[in-house]
Amino acid sequence: MGRRLRAELIGVGVQCDFLKSRVMTRSIILRALGAALIMATLMDPPPLRAGDLNDYPTSARADYVFACMKANGETQDVLQKCSCSIDVIASIIPYDGYVAAETIISMSQVTGPVGSEFRATEQAKLALRDFRRAQAEAEVRCF
């Protein structure tokens, strides 16, 4: 065998080894990525945000819009703004938080020890704070 042919065969052998190691490296990377994807799907899903859910019943939205219109005027323009407002609130806080805040607002108007329980607890203050922030955001976006 000539030197040139032998050198080419050795070069081909080196090139084959290089390609084999490259294919093996790519295979390892793809397996690692596949394992990472499987682990990601097996882990707990990310928590849902209020905006991911449409959990406000129509009657609750309508009640809000009626009360909003009573406070701001009964025109078509106010109807649109109030509808927008409840949509923004629904995108920020889940329905359970909305119900809690509405209950706290209603019960805190009661005089005596029952009303003070709803006005004084930390949980009530946090629920009202979240609701007020959602209302403020709705005010900015819609009015």
Structure tokens at 6: 């032998």
Structure tokens at 90: 């629904």
Confidence of residue 103 (pLDDT cuts 50, 70, 90): very high
pLDDT of residue 13: 55
Return the half-sphere exposure (C-beta side, CA atoms, 13 A cut-off) of residue 64.
24
pLDDT of residue 138: 98
Confidence of residue 15 (pLDDT cuts 50, 70, 90): low
| C-beta atoms surrounding 135 within 10 Å | 18
pLDDT at 91 over 80: yes
pLDDT tens-digit readout, 44-58:
556 656 555 579 999
pTM equals 0.63
Q: What is the dihedral of CA 73, 95, 99, 139, to 10 degrees?
A: -30
pLDDT at 75 over 60: yes
pLDDT at 137 over 90: yes
Q: Are 142 and 84 in contact (CB under 8 A)?
A: yes
Percentage of the chain modeled with pLDDT above 70? 63
| Average pLDDT rounded to a whole number, residues 100-108 | 94
> Interior CA angle at 89 toward 85 and 91, to 5°?
115
Q: Coil, strand, or helix at residue 44?
A: coil
| Average pLDDT rounded to a whole number, residues 13-37 | 58
Which ranges in 43-94 belong to alpha helices (H)? 58-72, 76-92
Identity of residue 73: G
Q: Are 65 and 74 in contact (CB under 8 A)?
A: no
pLDDT at 141 over 80: yes
Which ranges in the chain belong to alpha helices (H)? 3-42, 58-72, 76-92, 95-107, 113-120, 122-142
Using CB atoms within 10 Å of the CB of residue 86, give its burial: 0 to 12 exposed, 13 to 18 middle, 19+ buried: buried
